[in-house]
Structure formats: structure tokens, C-alpha cells
Structure 1
């Protein structure tokens, strides 16, 4: 979700004290922690900043005071899902249930991939589809488990994953990872030390204490006439349920019923109840009742007439009439109809005017439906975007970097993506204890690192210029320097064709507007051949029709390999759109205007 930079970043602003308390209460309620613990995770002075993801989804990021680490975020318009960042999970590792995966999978998650079923090592069968989870790295040597390195949402239940180990498919939708662009907004500290697990990988070894608690909560309790107990084990008394139904009616009167025309009535009591009461029940009863109801999912408490103190719909409606919230009409005598009818509602009642709105069951269901629709749309777009070109930048250990990669235990003949290089370096730094004790953001350079990043270029006279010794360096800068000592490669994947892997860095397609003979503007396109989407002749023919102008094909000028397509006129926009329709990502199209226009 954050594999590309955030856009439309608004100025961060401190939350008002009342909003901060609301956010803290959400954390207490949704993650079942104490107010004291929530104070650490929602500190005074916490900032909020609005943004857009690369998928054009609106979001809100909550930052530590003074613009520090991102602590929480929400994604999607009107989304109620509050998601902790990796920074927050490092403060409280047990905030979310976890899954573990081998070290080789983590770079793929950082690169934007979802966690697949075969990549799951440890999992608790009790996890539910849609539940937020953290993802940790499992190292078989030493039986070690890292702190959370990613946050995701279960694509399947834990049982389905455990029973389908041989199946292919997604286990977790990745939402945020270490080293993604959300992570980059923070201080980027070193990963805390891994902890040793007490048993070999098996589903039974996962979250033993959590499963014990869940099993105790799921154990059947003896029948009682006192509290009402829902399937989520939320304990509500009949008086609680009556109050919640009352609040549901007030919520409905302040929203849906406020604009209903009088001609809507009379309406049968059962239709009124199913249309204007049930959907407007509180999604989070504990916030309305101001009491702890345990670990319930939104909307799972059994709030209905049968569990209330009224016992019947007629009794409830008559109580609401007595409270002057609505008007009823009894069924005619000697009529087959036995149900009361609602003839009017009082949206101007003082309790309605002073009502503080809350999230309803309908809101949760609507949000879930929107998420499902977005996910379906995303899957459709993935299917439709099968024609898009995928470009992967790779690097191979070369000359000065060979010794370093051998010391890191990596294959010097393998091609590595940037996240994989970063992960190998992080492991090497941790194994050698190279983090600067005074400045955690800096890495102490050992002899091997120093030799790797020191330039070996010679002057024209054959003398090696002396460089000032460097004892330490920021992690990102160190990674950049190591990459510069490696040999660049690239991989191009075009649907329907075998992947093409070539030595050298891939250059963007050049779309340059120039003045040519007679100062007539022309648009020149070069460097498109590596993307394997269209030939020069076909491009010239297509652009002749699209731009309604003359086109031609000739060898690229100078030492540039390939061919050059010329289009008459200033057509960079039309050419860019044409190339993107062919599947070339926008980042691999570079336009320039050299016509002299200022």
C-alpha cells in the first residue's frame, strides 16, 4: 500500500485534546489495552496529516509529536479501520496477533507483494478473515522470531490457511511494512533484536496464551436469565439492550428519519423496526454504555427486542411513544391485522437535537461492502492490467562488492533487488554490532564496508586521489554507496512473452520536442525497444492516425542504439498517453521540451 510515496500531503496539525481522547478510546476499545498503555501509543501532542496513496485512496496518518514516527493510519474514505504502524508494534509487540514467515519472504513484502499461503510458517487457527495481524521473520537457525516487520489483513481464516498448506493463494493482504514509504516518514531505527521461540514451527506453538484465553471465552456457560450473552461473548443486561435500542431510534431520528416525508407513514411496526431501528444500532455498544464489553467485533453483540427488557416489539414502540419520540396507531378491532403502526416521528425532540452521533451497524456494513467492492475492483484491475509492462531494477555483486556479499553469506552470482540488498546489509550490521552507540541513525563502518564503498577511480596521471576517511555513515547512504559498487541489471516482463533480463541500467523512453527545419516543432521518440510493446513502424503508423500528422522512422542519432520515431508537431502528451496505453509505466516515460518555449 505504501510501496510508492504518498501524495497530496496536507500540513500536519496537532489533534485537539478531545480528538486525542477519542483516538485513545478507540485504541483502548479496538485493541483491548489499558488507558495507561494507550497513553504511550497516543501521546499528547500527536499530529494528524491527510494524504493520498498511489492508488488514489485518501488516508490519515497520525504522527508522534513534533512530526516524529508515524504511529497509526487509516486508509479509505470514511474508513473506521485504525491500523498500527510498525513503529507502534515495536512499542507493544502483542498489540496484534502474529504470523511468521521465512527471511527470504520479507523483501518481497517490502516490494509490495502480499503474503502467500506457502510463505506462512506459524499461524494461529483461531484468526479470522479480515482480522489485522502483524508479520514476523522466522529464522530456523536459533529458532528466532523477529519483532513485527509488516502489518496486514487476513485474506482467509487461520483454519483455512492451516488446512490448505498445499494450496496456492493469498494468506494476508499486506498493508504496511518496514522500509516502505510510510516507514520512511519516521526515524528508521534499527530493528530490535529477535527473540527465541520455545518450540519448533507448528501451528500449535502460536500464541499459546492467546488461544487459551480465546478457548476459555468460547467455552459454553450455564444458562441464566440475567445477562444476555452474544456469540462474541459480549455480556449485556436487558437494561443495556433497551438503552441501546432507544439510542438506535434517536440516531435514526437524527439522520435517516429527519428527512423522511410525512407521506411515508403510516408504517407497520415490524417494517419500521427493521428499517429504522436495527441498522442504526451502535456498532460499538461500549462507547454508548461507557463500560468495558470485552473483545467483541463491531456489531456482534445481540442487541434485539428478544434480549431487551421490553421482550416484545409492541412494548418497545409504546415505550418510545410514551417518551414522545413517535406516534402509534392500534390495529382496528375485529381486523386480521394485529400489529401496531407508526403514524409519525418526532425528529425535533430535545434528545434528538442534543444527540451525539455514533458509528452504527449500518456504517460498519456499508464500510465492509465498500472494502469488498474496492477489493473486487482491485482484483479486476489486476486482471485487466495484465497487459502492463513490469520493470524490475536489479544489481549483481561486482569487483569491490564481491567480498562484502560473500561475507554476508550471499551468492555473489545472484541478481538482487534493492529491498534484498537492504535486508542483507541490515543482517550484516546486526551480526557485527555496527550500530553507533551514541547516534542510532548511524552505522560504524568496519574495514570491509570501508573498502567496499571507497572509490577506486584513478586520476588521469594514474595516481589515486586520497579521500578523507569515513568512520560512520547513515544506513540509507551506506546502502546507496554499496549499490553504486554493484553491476546494474534489469528485468522486463511483458505479458505473453518470456521475461528479458539484461545487463545495464534500463533508461526511460525519451520523448523530446525539438525545433527542426524551418523552426517547425517535432516530437522524437527513442529508447522504446527494451519495453517490447511496439515496433518502430507500428508506432509511427499508430501516431500518424492519433496525431493527424506526418511521421517517419530513422536510426537513432549518435551512439544511441535502436530507432527514432518522428511525429510532426508538439505531441509529447499524445505520445505519452499512447505508450501508457501500450502498457509502459508512466515512470519509464521521460518528456522534454527543447523548443525554447519558456
Structure 2
């Protein structure tokens, strides 16, 4: 479920009433937890966050986060613990054991197949179909996966230990694990007195027999047809368990060796992407005339634009964490650039070694993305955005229907302002209502009197100027607007179109945040806009549902970022300025000396 990146919909602090409700649900779902343990997991005074996410296949998942690590996740109203929680309480769930090389398949998205299950002398745990259970590795009781039983224990025996055993939902090294502090599992040795059984037969494990059994279970796991995604990461070295077995097993799977990404952690993959974008930017974007170049400008305008389509460049997910540290490594270990602090607190790239062998041998990839490209569900890049065409319309009301009967315009039908003027002009000429003495005036007949005049004007107003006639007609019609997106049918709605509203608010300790809403009206995905802004200003963004508005999301980003928001909407998304409200609230910088 979490083998690919997920999209965060909202991240809020849990309310007191919901906290009590969650504690009751945990008590019912996991009765083995004591009252003290429940209070430790759901503390009354510490901040507990509720994060609502969409998995890559569209599943709605609620994640409960404490101390920056996810503890539980809820799918279809059923609670599951994460590996972080199970490392603290390894006996919380029924456990199925498997060989350490199988973990690589589970990380890639495969389910646990019964041929790979190591049966203890006491037998399999008693589970029913759909029960929540955990997966551990031989020689370590620390769970590495969480799922639900595909069949009951009795059915597992009756099937001869063949077929699917556990439908895996979450594993160590997946993207839900990466959402936490990314710590590794503890070493929890098993009881050596327990014998081991495979397929129900007890035996002592010799090195040669163990090697043959490992090859057999991995082949069974691979032949089950379960997909191993590109995001699969080995991670077995970090476990610090069964290293000899995994080295032997790696030789049995040539396909996994061919794919280098399968042997890298997400952090290592991000490091490689960062280095690729760095070399690409130096080779194709940076010119000698631009030096010295601010490091922030180099990242924002050069490196991000070199990120391949369908991928996201995020320094915080790399081992460097900060741009300054990354550039320091590029300077000291690779001798690619020289970075100096020309102004206090502001670093610049002052020199590039264009003859560096690594830079000269680097070949520029053909396909590159743009700054705002983000990974969508299914792994495809963002479709190019085209602003909608917005047209003001007017709808015929019951009061004005007699005026438009000759033009066959009934109540509720919409027209352009020019069409309204044309129909009114035709009506006046047809009924010979133009004042003979002054053609700038129109004589009021009974129909115009009923449609356009107030009751107090019935006896007093005998004629109107043309402009007054048109303005009164439009003023008594229902305002509407039409939105036309490229390749889609027009959408007509009543009232004024809501502008994109940008505002600045204060949070705790007088910190400023920038808020945006009504992006959906213009066909903009709030998550995509939030990611593009995050790349531009290197500040965190949060998506929150708008109170009282269905299907609307508020984008919040740290600091007063109205300048950057305005530039993104006006230049990149090409939204007309008249449909953006709040650009005048941008912070005004001091005068340069």
C-alpha cells in the first residue's frame, strides 16, 4: 500500500474528544495493551497529529503520528499498528516468521507466501481470515511488516502451506516508514530453545540445508507473480541480521542484481538524483557570465528545472539535508565548484571546474521535467496546465421574461452582455420606442415599465437614456459565469466567480504563514501548487480542508510568500491578475544601501 509515494490531504492536531475516542478504539482492537501503555501511546498533553493521506492507488488512509513517527494507520475503519509501534510492543499481534531475504520482496509490494513461512514447534498462530498480523525474520523478533491474514490458520495447514499467507499493507523501508524518523528495527533475539519447522516438519538447520531452503522459498516467493516495484530497497544490511544468508540468496536472483535501484535506500536514491541534477545544471544551465551565482538561485532556477519528469527533488530526503552541506561535499570531495560567503550569511558559487572529469563525462538526459512537475497517482508526470477561459454571462429572470419573449429567451437561459444589448435594441426599434425629439432617449412602454422601473417610478419616469436602459436590464438579470477548460465541456455557474484568495496570517510566536484558497475553481490542484511553492521557497506546506466548503482545500506555506505565490500564478499558470485577490499584501523589503 505504501510502496509508492502518497499524497497528504491534511495534517491536523487531534481534538480532545477524538483522542478519547481513539483510545477506546485501540483498547477494543488491541486488548493486550494495558491502561498505562494506552496512556503512553495516546498521551493527554502531548501533541498527536492526524494525517489524512491518499495512497498511490487512491485508498483513503488516516495516519496517527506521535513524536514525528506514525504509530497507527486506519484503512476502511480498521486500525493497524506501524512497525515503529511494533518495535516497542513486538507481541502486540500474531506473528509469522520468514527468512530475511524474503523481506526484499515484501518491501517491493509482494505478499507473504506460505512456502516462505517458518513454522515454530508450537505451530502457527491462531488467526482468522482478515485478522491483523505481523511478519518477523528468523533470528530477530522485531516485526518488519504488517498485514492481514489471507486465510485462517487451519486453512493454511489444509492447503499444504502453499499459496498466499499474509496480505502485506506496510513494511519497514516503505514510504509510511519514511514518513517517520527512519530508524531501523532493534535486535530482539529469538528463544534458541524453539525448534523450527518448514511446511510442518521439524528439523535442525545446517548451513547447506539453510542455503537450499532459502533459495527454495525465494523462488516460491518470486514465482507467486507478485510485482516488485522500482521503489523496492534492500535494507537488509541495516537490519544487522542474517547477513550471511542474504549474501547467499542474492546470488540466486540475477534480475534483482541487474536493477541497481533495488539495492539502494530511498535516501541513496535521492542522493543520486541530487548529484545528477547538480551535474546537469552545471553542464547545460550555468554560464561563466552568471558567476558568482547565489546558491539559492542555482537550486531554484537551475537544479529543479533539471529534475527528470515524474520525480521530485527534495534535499531534506537526502543524506545531506541542507544545500550548503551538499555543496560543501561537491567542493571538497569532487572539486567541482568553489563556494564562498560573499555577503554575511549568503553563499555563492564563485567558480566551476569545467574540465572536471566527472562533469565532462556526464551526458545530459533527453527527458527533463519542469519545476512544478510532481508525481501524480500512478507515477505519471503532471499534465501541462492551461488556464481556463472565463466569460461573464447573464440569465433571464422571471421579471424580465416578457422583454425577451420575441427573441425566444425563456427564464433561466443565459446570454453574453453583447447579446442582451442587441436583443433590447431590437425590441426598442421594433416597437418604435426611440424618442423622436431626442434619439438618446427611449420611451417607456408598459412592458419596459413592468420590467425595469420601481413602483415609485411608474408615474414619474416616461423615458430612459440608452445607457440607463442597458444598465437597468443587466442589473435585473441573474449574473452567471462560464468556465471553459481546454478539451472539456463549458461549465456555467450562477453568481460571481470567486477569485484566488491570498492572505497572510499569524500563528504561534508571531510567525507568518501565507494562505491560498479557491484554487480548484481555476482547475488547479492544491497539492501540485503546494509542491511547486515548496520547491521555490524551500518552506513547508500544509493542506487543510476549508470549513463549510465541500471539496475545497486551503494551502498554507510558511512565511510571507505572496511575491512567490503571485509569480507562480501569474507567470507559470497564467491566471489573469483580476482573478487573484490579495497580491497587495506582499511584504515590503527595506531600501538597499
TM-score (normalised: structure 2): 0.37
Higher RCO (C-alpha 8 Å, min separation 6): 2
